[in-house]
Structure formats: structure tokens, C-alpha cells
Amino acid sequence: MKIGIIGAGNMGGAIACGLAASGKYKSGEIVCSNPTTAKLDKLKQQYDIIATTTNNIEAVKGADMVVVAVKPWLAEGVVKEIKQAFDTPGKMLVSVVADVPFATLREWVADVENQPAIFRVIPNTAISVGESMTFVAEDGATEEQTALVMKIFSLMGEAMLVNERVLEVGMVLASCGIAFALRYVRAAAEGGVELGIPAAQATQIVAATLKGAAELLLRNGSHPEQEIDKVTTAGGITIKGLNEMEHAGFTSAVIRGLKASAGK
Ligand SMILES: NC(=O)c1ccc[n+]([C@@H]2O[C@H](COP(=O)([O-])OP(=O)(O)OC[C@H]3O[C@@H](n4cnc5c(N)ncnc54)[C@H](OP(=O)(O)O)[C@@H]3O)[C@@H](O)[C@H]2O)c1
């Protein structure tokens, strides 16, 4: 199976690396294109099996799946440039472009005789370390095609099949969520420094703690409050700190931030 990836930036590069690292693809099955060569050379150095080109048409020639990973304002030109790749039935167009809905993507390929299955896939930047929370939505895809796309993106973290509406708001939790979680890390580390822990050590401690807290939820399938109960002894230090944070508006600040990002 050949996968053509258009754009070797953060997303395209991470997808190419994630696929190559999975060990499931042979040399030449992953082809990545980019107008400039520096990112392509870096990809090639990391994974020799990734084929690279500065020519988008070459990247999609004979591809079963085309992944478009360029900035939103370039997406229309790129999709229209490569739509000849959908010359036979059963092809897949995967867009990771955040702001372009199915209706627009369909319009861009409207004159193509064999309408491809279209997927909107929104990973977050943790895809570069194989820990993405990725949303997948489909339009006109068969069950087999959807299963394939889910399998591919599950190689690079957690993949969740949703409808387009959920994808739009879920992105706030998962993509913007990276920044929100990291701002907590920075705040907690700064508190640690004030308490006398060196900055680098404080950041490492908070990041590892956050990872452990997330694992408790993911592995136990528990509610956050159940895990919180386990560390809040009556009259103890954790509940004192937690309540102080709530007095300062912790939960409310998080909800307000999410709603602002979602434009609500
Ligand atoms: N970053 C995120 O967290 C995130 C999450 C979900 C979705 N997305 C979406 O992913 C898309 C890509 O974002 P990104 O962060 O990966 O951007 P990026 O790092 O800027 O990567 C875009 C790449 O596209 C290349 N490019 C420009 N014009 C091209 C063309 N005509 N043909 C082929 N490649 C071209 C650029 O090359 P040069 O730099 O050499 O010009 C660049 O390497 C965006 O639409 C964004 O909405 C991003």
C-alpha cells in the first residue's frame, strides 16, 4: 500500500515517521513531498525507507492514500493539484487540515469521476512521540477503509472515530489541550522552585506526575475524583492545597478557557 504525504512539517513529518517506525511499511511505500528539501533530508536521515520528493504529483502517483498536511490557506491549491491521484475507485484522501470541513473538501474534488473516501484526521503534537490523541471522521468511506485509517493512526497513539461536530470541539480538548496541560506543568514547576526545588528537577517531577495521573485514569478506567479521593486524607495537606486552588477558580478557569478556544 502506498501512502503519499503532502507537506513534511510538524504533522506530515510526524505521520511519515510514525508510519516508518511502525515497521509495517516497505521502502517506497511512504512518500513525502515538500517544496523545500531541508525537512525532507531530515526525514530521510531518520528513516531511510521514506521516499522524498519536491514534486507533489510524484508523491501521489499510484498512492492508495493521500495525506494532506499543509497550512489551511494552502490546502485548496494542493488538493486541486493532486486530485488526479483519485483516478481509480477505492482511493482515500486524508486531510489533517484543521479548519476545512468535509463539504469544502468534497467541493474541491467535485469534478473527479471516482470520488475518494475522505477522512478528516486531527492529531495533536504528541504524534511526534507516538502518543497522539487523534480524532478521525469519515465521509463516503467503507468500513474497511475506516478500519484501515483507524489502524494507521492507532500506530501513533490513541485514535477515536467521531462525527465532524465532535471533531471540531474535541480538537480544543486534545490539540489546544497540550498547551493547557503544559501551562499547568509550568505553573506547578514554578511553585516547586519557590519551595526550593531546582527548575529542571521541578519540571521533570511535575511532567512525570502528570503522566502517572493520566495513566491511572486510562488504565483503571476510573473517574478523576476516585483517584483524587485516594490522595486526599481528611484534614490532610492535599485537600488544603486543592481547595485553595478552587478558591482561586481552578475548575472555572479551565472551563472558561476551553469555551473561549471553542469560540463559545
Ligand atoms: N500542529 C498541530 O498541532 C496540528 C494539529 C492538528 C492539525 N494540524 C493541521 O496540520 C496542518 C499542517 O500543520 P503543521 O503544524 O504541520 O504545519 P507546518 O509545520 O508549517 O508544515 C506544513 C508543511 O507544508 C509544506 N508546504 C507548503 N506549501 C506546500 C505545497 N504547495 N506542497 C507541499 N507542501 C507544502 C511546508 O513547507 P515549507 O516550510 O518548506 O514551506 C511545511 O513543511 C495544518 O493545516 C494544521 O491545521 C496541525
Per-residue model confidence (pLDDT) at position 86? 92
Same domain? For 8 and 129 the reply is yes
Q: Which cell goes with 180?
A: 493547557
Q: From the CB of 123, is ligand 1 less than 6 Å away?
A: yes
Using the mean position of ligand 1's atoms as its centre, give its distance from the Cα of residue 7 in Å. Answer: 6
Tens of pLDDT, residue by residue over 16-73, are 999 999 899 999 999 999 999 999 999 999 999 999 999 999 999 999 999 999 999 9
As beta bridge partners, residue 6 has 33, 68
CB 120 less than 6 A from any atom of ligand 1: no
How many folded domains does the chain comprise? 2
d(CA 179, CA 176): 5
Shortest-distance Cα residue to atom 5 of ligand 1: 124
pLDDT band at residue 139 under the 50/70/90 scheme: very high
- Do 190 and 99 share a domain, yes or no? no
Atom of ligand 1 nearest to the CA of 8: 43
Asked if 140 and 44 sit in the same domain, the reply is yes
For the CA of 75, the closest atom of ligand 1 is 45
- pLDDT of res. 87: 85
Does residue 56 line the site of ligand 1, with CB under 6 A? yes
Q: Are 168 and 192 in contact (CB under 8 A)?
A: no
Ligand 1 atom at minimal distance to the Cα of residue 71: 45
Mean pLDDT of 185-202: 98
Domain termination residue (choose one: 101, 133, 162): 162
- The CATH number covering residue 101 comes to 3.40.50.720
- Determine the distance from the C-alpha atom of residue 128 to the mean position of all C-alpha atoms in its chain, rounded to a whole number: 9
Query: Where a domain ends, among 162, 193, 215?
Result: 162
Shared domain check, 141 and 62: yes
The residue segments making up the domain with residue 130 are 3-162
214 shares its domain with 157: no
Cα of 72 vs centre of ligand 1, distance in Å, is: 8
70 and 149, same structural domain?
yes
CATH (domain of 176): 1.10.3730.10
> Mean pLDDT across the stretch 215-243?
97
Q: What is the pLDDT averaged over residues 156-171?
A: 95
Residue 235 in this model has a pLDDT that exceeds 90: yes
> Domain boundary residue among 118, 133, 162?
162
Do both 143 and 189 map to the same domain? no
CB 178 within 8 A of CB 169: no
Same domain, 189 and 120: no
User: Is the domain of 15 the same as that of 81?
Assistant: yes
Q: Is the pTM of this model over 0.85?
A: yes
The residue whose CA is least distant from atom 19 of ligand 1 is 9
Question: Using one digit for the tens of pLDDT, what is the confidence trace for 86-134?
Answer: 989 999 999 999 989 999 999 999 999 999 999 999 999 999 899 999 9
Do residue 243 and residue 176 come from a single domain? Answer: yes
Q: How far apart are CA 67 and CA 13, in angstroms?
A: 11
In a shared domain, residues 74 and 23: yes
Residue 72, ligand 1, Cβ within 6 A? yes
Q: Are residues 31 and 125 in the same domain?
A: yes
